[in-house]
Chains A and B, each alone.
Chain A
Amino acid sequence: MRQAVVETGVALAGAVLSVFGLIHALGFTRDSAYLPTVVMGLLTLLLVVWAVRSALTLRHEGGDSIRLAPGHVRRFFTLLATSIVMIVAAPRLGFATTFLLFVPLSGMLLGYRKGKWLVVTAIIFSLLIYLIFQVVLDRPLPPEMALRVFTGI
């Protein structure tokens, strides 16, 4: 896919959002509206100019192309998906417990195959996180499920 196609699409979508932002900013009271209106107006203008320039590049030269290997796309979305699951799970299971599962699972799904290192890294990392945040910094974090399971506390 051409870089200019992506840029034109992003710039146009951004310009539409920016127009909505501008309309929203015009609804603020006078003193609060001044800067938001100016900034949203300028942003809309810049995005339109960017879209036009990208479209012209596409028309004249074609521009550079973006080459995304299938593995790149898969790994990007895998990490994003596991991160989302991790954020949902962390308040329920506790952060250290979630990381105990998240680090090896993500590593494995991303393609890292040395099982021993996956497990060792996850245990050391989770222990460090627990020690730093719960013991040293004394941050009020959600209770750890792993601690409940292993110690019954």
Chain B
Amino acid sequence: MWDSILSALPLLFSPAVLLAMAGGATIGVLIGALPGLSATMGIAVLIPLTFTMDPLVALGMMAGIYNGAMYGGAIPAILLRIPGTPAGIATVFDGHPMAQKGQGLEAMKIALTSSAIGGSVSALALLFLSPPLAAMALKFGPVEVFWLAIFGLAAISVLLSDAPIKGLISACLGLVIGMVGIDSMTGNERFTFNVMDLMGGIDILVLLTGLYAIPPALTLAQEAMLLSRNSIGSGGKTRSGIGWRRLMPTWCRASVIGVIVGIIPGTGGNIAAMLSWNEARRVAKDKSRFGKGAPEGVAAAECANNADNAASLIPALTLGIPGSSVSAVILGGLLVHGMLPGPDLFTRSAPVTYGFILAMLVTSIMLFVIGRLGARLFINVMYMPPLLLAPIIIALTTIGVYAINNSLFDVWLMLTFGVMGWGMERLKIPLAPAVLAVILGPVAESSLRRAMLIGRHEVSYLFSSTIAIVMVTIIVLTVLVPVIRRLLTHYRGRPSKLAMASDPERARQRFEP
């Protein structure tokens, strides 16, 4: 591992990669600061543009955007009471009251420092936990890989939505999209309807860009939220002095919560931030300060949602199972650059993989500098008119997708997926299971076929190893989670903390003073 890290360092500190990381972090903060845009959308728009770049330059930029956007979401959460990203919801609780007291800039400083600390801890967790997990994945045969893919799909379909049936519908749609094209094992056409452009299958980039970049643009134009200078304010000038030492225990707890939540597929930064904020309030001597502008509340939420970032990539990089929509998009980015997730990533592509992991660490540190220097710029970006921003996003994605294969068909397909994604969001059907299914569907199918060949078409072969039985048990438990949640809600008469954390609106109603 250390050899790989040492070989990655010169690549990482080349001028192009450093520039890409700094640019990515700045773009990320700008994207996060704009309500309605997310890290997932930013990376989805960027991937087609990085298609021709060196892999580490492209991945360094993605790392910057990911970390930057997660902090950027705190800016409108603090100043406007509107979380820029879903993970910023818990920041609203104490961040906005601080801004109302004239401590907006202090709240932003706490958010920035906490984000940088959370992001760094998460990157270290990714660096040290991934190689052993990848080594373990080497022992997996086709049966285990099949069940692992099914587990990934089941977890994200069931846990990501309040109505698991919608998550499963999304996963099935993704599986169908993943099957379009010529079957690599038999050479037969599937769902191509004799359309030549569909013979090669649907490019993951076209799907990602369509599902994650077009719906926010359509929503921006539709809702046309205009902000006046009065509604934002300058962040305030009151200086009460931040007790940095007092925040240290909060950062430690929040980092651990963020990393653990990040590793679990189907969760996300919003859940990490909510759980961490709740934990900070639980251990506080004076609980009544929370929700009224407690600095620990901002630190807990922001540290946890950034500690979730790199940790959510652990199952994605080692096992090929992205646990969230943004890690699914990053996985798509790796695939575009010819890097197959799994143990190979840590052997054949080790320098670039470790370079990317270190980029997650470096961009977390860079974020601190960029956030301090550009605070005023990031506040001003919230004035950007959405009615002008929406066509720019559409234009950028159009040329980005066209440039991949010089195919206008891909652009039409992207727009179709975009409208489909917009409709799915309106119907509260999660998008992530569909994307994950496109990635995992072919993996599951080829592993199943190989397993059946080895097992001479005996279904019992699928349950022949201990790992397989453990995985099937976990899958069954995962699928039962909604039932358990419903039973708990029924007996307690109120939803569980996790259920509330996964639903920002419900969380706001429950916790906000």
| Complex: chain B residue closest to A95, CB-CB | B399
Residues of chain A lying within 8 A (CB to CB) of residue B415: 83-84, 87
Give the secondary structure class of A's interface: helix
Q: Which of A30-77 contact B (CB under 8 A)?
A: 31-32, 35-36, 39-40, 42-43, 46-47, 49-50, 53, 66, 71-72, 75-76
A43 touches B391 (CB 8 A): no
A107 touches B387 (CB 8 A): yes
Residue-wise interface mask of B (176-194) relative to A, using a CB-CB cutoff of 8 A (1 in contact, 0 not):
1001000101101011000
Let me know if B173 is at the binding interface, CB within 8 A.
Answer: yes
Q: How far is the CA of A112 from the CA of B221 in the complex (A)?
A: 10
Let me know if B321 is at the binding interface, CB within 8 A.
Answer: no
Residues of chain A lying within 8 A (CB to CB) of residue B398: 83, 86-87, 90, 95
Q: How far is the CA of A148 from the CA of B183 in the complex (A)?
A: 45
Residues of chain B lying within 8 A (CB to CB) of residue A79: 217-218, 221-222, 390-391, 394
Let me know if A137 is at the binding interface, CB within 8 A.
Answer: yes
Let me know if B6 is at the binding interface, CB within 8 A.
Answer: no
Let me know if A19 is at the binding interface, CB within 8 A.
Answer: no
Residue-wise interface mask of B (115-131) relative to A, using a CB-CB cutoff of 8 A (1 in contact, 0 not):
00000000000000000
Let me know if B336 is at the binding interface, CB within 8 A.
Answer: no
Cβ-neighbour of B186 out of A29, A53, A110 (below 8 A):
A29
Let me know if B224 is at the binding interface, CB within 8 A.
Answer: yes
A32 touches B165 (CB 8 A): no
Let me know if B52 is at the binding interface, CB within 8 A.
Answer: yes
Instruction: Taking A32-B183, A140-B406 as given, write out 12 further A-B residue pairs in contact, using a Cβ cutoff of 8 Å, ordered by the A residue number.
Output: A7-B427, A29-B186, A32-B186, A32-B190, A36-B179, A46-B169, A49-B165, A76-B222, A91-B408, A99-B399, A107-B391, A133-B403
Instruction: Using A42-B172, A80-B218, A87-B412 as known contacts, say yes or no to A110 and B419 having CB atoms under 8 A apart.
Output: no
Q: How far is the CA of A106 from the CA of B392 in the complex (A)?
A: 10
Instruction: Using A36-B190, A76-B222, A137-B403 as known contacts, say yes or no to A110 and B387 having CB atoms under 8 A apart.
Output: yes
Q: How far is the CA of A137 from the CA of B49 in the complex (A)?
A: 9
Instruction: Using A46-B172, A79-B217 as known contacts, say yes or no to A103 and B388 having CB atoms under 8 A apart.
Output: yes
Question: Closest CB of chain B to A82's CB: distance in Å?
Answer: 7
Cβ-neighbour of B168 out of A28, A46, A80 (below 8 A):
A46
Cβ-neighbour of B403 out of A82, A106, A139 (below 8 A):
A139
Residue-wise interface mask of B (376-395) relative to A, using a CB-CB cutoff of 8 A (1 in contact, 0 not):
00000000010110111011
Let me know if B175 is at the binding interface, CB within 8 A.
Answer: yes
| Complex: chain B residue closest to A44, CB-CB | B172
Q: How far is the CA of A76 from the CA of B415 in the complex (A)?
A: 13
Residues of chain B lying within 8 A (CB to CB) of residue A140: 406
Task: State the 3 A-B residue pairs at the shortest beta-carbon distance, nearest first.
Answer: A106-B391, A43-B172, A112-B387
| Complex: chain B residue closest to A42, CB-CB | B172
Residues of chain B lying within 8 A (CB to CB) of residue A43: 169, 172-173, 176
Residues of chain B lying within 8 A (CB to CB) of residue A75: 221-222, 224, 387
B190 touches A28 (CB 8 A): yes
Residues of chain A lying within 8 A (CB to CB) of residue B179: 35-36, 39
Let me know if B435 is at the binding interface, CB within 8 A.
Answer: no
A86 touches B395 (CB 8 A): yes
Interface size class of A (residues with CB under 8 A): 35 or more
Question: Closest CB of chain B to A52's CB: distance in Å?
Answer: 10
Q: How far is the CA of A80 from the CA of B422 in the complex (A)?
A: 12
Residues of chain B lying within 8 A (CB to CB) of residue A6: 427
Let me know if B205 is at the binding interface, CB within 8 A.
Answer: no
Q: How far is the CA of A118 from the CA of B387 in the complex (A)?
A: 10
Q: Which of B186-225 contact A (CB under 8 A)?
A: 186, 188, 190-191, 217-218, 221-224
Let me know if B411 is at the binding interface, CB within 8 A.
Answer: yes
Question: Closest CB of chain B to A66's CB: distance in Å?
Answer: 8
Residues of chain B lying within 8 A (CB to CB) of residue A40: 176
Question: Closest CB of chain A to B32's CB: distance in Å?
Answer: 21
Q: How far is the CA of A46 from the CA of B433 in the complex (A)?
A: 15
A110 touches B390 (CB 8 A): yes
Cβ-neighbour of A83 out of B394, B399, B441 (below 8 A):
B394
Let me know if A132 is at the binding interface, CB within 8 A.
Answer: yes
Residues of chain B lying within 8 A (CB to CB) of residue A35: 175, 179, 441, 445, 448
Instruction: Using A42-B172, A79-B218, A137-B403 as known contacts, say yes or no to A36 and B185 having CB atoms under 8 A apart.
Output: no
Residue-wise interface mask of A (1-15) relative to B, using a CB-CB cutoff of 8 A (1 in contact, 0 not):
000001100100010
B188 touches A112 (CB 8 A): no
Residues of chain A lying within 8 A (CB to CB) of residue B402: 90, 95, 141
B392 touches A72 (CB 8 A): no
Q: List 27 A-B contacts (CB under 8 A).
A: A6-B427, A10-B427, A24-B191, A28-B188, A32-B183, A32-B190, A42-B172, A43-B176, A50-B166, A72-B223, A76-B218, A79-B222, A80-B419, A83-B394, A90-B399, A95-B402, A103-B388, A106-B390, A107-B385, A117-B388, A118-B388, A125-B392, A125-B395, A132-B49, A137-B403, A139-B403, A141-B399
